[in-house]
Amino acid sequence: MKKQKEISGRKLLGIAGLGWMFDALDVGLLSFIIAALQVDWGLSVQQMGWIGSVNSIGMAVGAMFFGLMADRIGRKNVFIITLLLFSIGSGLSAFTTSLTVFLILRFIIGAGLGGELPVASTLVSESVPAEKRGRVVVLLESYWAAGWLIAALIAYFIIPDYGWQTALILSAIPAFYAIYLRLNLPDSPRFLSVKEKDRPTIGQSLSALWAKENVKRTAMLWILWFCVVFSYYGMFLWLPSVMVIKGFSLIKSFQYVLIMTLAQLPGYFTAAWFIERLGRKFVLVVYLIGTALSAYFFGNAESLGLLITAGIFLSFFNLGAWGALYAYTPEQYPTKIRGTGAGTAAAVGRVGGILGPLLVPYLVSSGISISTIFAIFCGAVLIGAAAVFFLGEETKKKELA
């Protein structure tokens, strides 16, 4: 027990956070690698779009499947498997010479990534005291910004001189880290307290999500996850294109990517501070409203100064909301179905992550203005905030069921 307590604080945050950072590194590199592949392989816009879509489909499948598995074989085992899956997939993709094989590997990588995120947050949630749980999980999310920053540095310094293959090999390093985790990371004490014979089957776990005592929570989470992920990927994956459409060339510079990434960090840290003082619902609702307002001003900005300012606030509020989302989700369910609940909510969100980026080019080609497109994302974020406000229950400092 002493060992469990010792590793359940900062050390656990560091171990899980590094896994989270490697996830972000892979996702962040993908956008730069797609651009490099377009040149090397002569890809069409449609083929480039398929790379991102297949990755998102893999994330949806992985979140659902590995969320269910986390309630059967343990949080630690799934955390290791998913980390190995996307790490090895990234390494192998460095040696591919065809788009078909690359797409298959991107699906596998996406499945590992989609499964790792909700399971890692569940593991951390179940391993820290109730009074620190929200703050620690939000800080776990902050490692995402670090991963994106490293991805930007690799893209800037490695890809131009050494090629996209070298960048992918570097992203495979987490495979070795996963071996270390297997030897040193204890599983969630709450999961271990559930006897194997008492663990629900997959069918029982899924049906329990819609049992009378859980139906409102599940509906709230599914609406929230879909709206947040739909708007995030719809907006952030198209930020460079939107700025080009608006006639600005700054988006092509490394400095702007760096500014947007750094703006995420104060968003995470302030959310981590507020979440234990004012509660999960407060942080989610306020930061989502801040995201919606920032999206509105970004879509309607006519000057470079307003565009960058709105973009910084958009990054600040949206990523702070993401941190609160990962803290809030595992707290909604009892231990027996916590992995399933977090995984299925994330899977529903990933469906939004597929639809959001597809919506933008369709609307642009139909003559819809950028301001109207961002108004749609603004509305989606407000729907998510309303779901939390009206259907959510405050879980600040409450012991997990």
> For the domain that residue 349 is a member of, what is the CATH number?
1.20.1250.20
**Whether residue 20 has pLDDT greater than 90:** no
From the list 105, 126, 123, the residue with the least C-alpha distance to 115 is 123
- Cβ-in-10-Å burial (0-12, 13-18, 19+) of 399 comes to exposed
Share of the chain above pLDDT 70, in %: 92
CB atoms closer than 10 angstroms to residue 216: 14
Rounded alpha-carbon distances, angstroms, from residue 12 to 146, 237, 258, 400: 17, 31, 28, 18
Q: How confident is the model at residue 399 (pLDDT cuts 50, 70, 90)?
A: confident
Q: Are 261 and 145 in contact (CB under 8 A)?
A: yes
- The per-residue pLDDT for 10 is 76
218 within some domain? yes
Which residue type is seen at 186? P
CB of 223 within 8 A of CB of 351? no
**Does residue 351 surpass a pLDDT of 80?**
yes
- 129-143 residue pLDDT tens: 888 888 888 888 888
Whether 254 has a pLDDT exceeding 60, the answer reads no
Q: Smallest Cα–Cα separation from 314: which of 244, 355, 393, 256? A: 256
CB 289 within 8 A of CB 316: no
Query: Over the stretch 177-215, which tens digit does the pLDDT of each residue have?
Result: 777 777 777 888 888 888 888 888 889 999 999 999 999
Tokens of 357: 């980026």
**Per-residue pLDDT averaged across 331-356, rounded?**
93
Burial label, 358 (beta-carbon count in 10 A; 0-12, 13-18, 19+): middle
Residue 251, pLDDT > 60, answer no
Q: Is 384 within a domain?
A: yes
pLDDT band at 5 (very low <50, low <70, confident <90, very high): very low
DSSP state of 263: T
Element containing residue 392 per DSSP (H, E): none
Q: Burial level of 20, CB count in 10 A (0-12/13-18/19+)?
A: buried
Please list, residue by residue across 317-339, b when 16 or more beta carbons sit within 10 angstroms of its beta carbon and e when fewer do.
bbbbbbbbbbbbbbbbbebbbbb
For residue 93, is it within any domain? Answer: yes
Q: Is the residue at 194 inside a domain?
A: no
**For residue 9, what pLDDT band results from cuts at 50, 70 and 90?**
low
Chain mean pLDDT for the chain: 86
90-110 per-position pLDDT tens digit: 889 999 989 999 999 999 999
User: In which domain, by residue range, is 286 found?
Assistant: 2-185+201-391
- Residue listed under structure tokens 């995120």: 117
| Whether pLDDT at 324 is above 50 | yes
Residues 370/299, Cβ–Cβ less than 8 Å: yes
**Orientation angle between helical segments 45-73 and 335-365, nearest 10 degrees:** 170
Query: How far is residue 105's CA from residue 122's CA, in Å, rounded to a whole number?
Result: 26
What the block records as the tokens of 80 is 């290791």
pLDDT at residue 377, rounded to an integer:
95
The yes-or-no verdict on residue 391 having pLDDT over 60 is yes
More confident: 343 or 255: 343
Residue 194's pLDDT is 84
- φ, ψ (nearest 5 deg) of residue 27: -65, -45
Distance CA 231, CA 222 (A): 14
Where is pLDDT greater, at 72 or 149?
Answer: 72
* Residue 401 falls inside a structural domain: no
In a domain, 288, yes or no: yes
The pLDDT of 318-333, averaged and rounded, is 93
Residue 195 lies in a domain: no
Predicted confidence band of residue 78 (pLDDT cuts 50, 70, 90): very high
pTM recorded for the entire structure: 0.87
Contact between residue 352 and residue 189 where contact means Cβ atoms under 8 Å apart = no
How many domains are contained in the chain? Answer: 1
| Closest C-alpha to 309, from 259, 268, 261, 254 | 259
Closest residue by Cα to residue 290 from 213, 162, 367, 384: 384
Least confident residue range of 113-117, 154-158, 283-287, 382-386: 154-158
Residue 397 lies in a domain: no
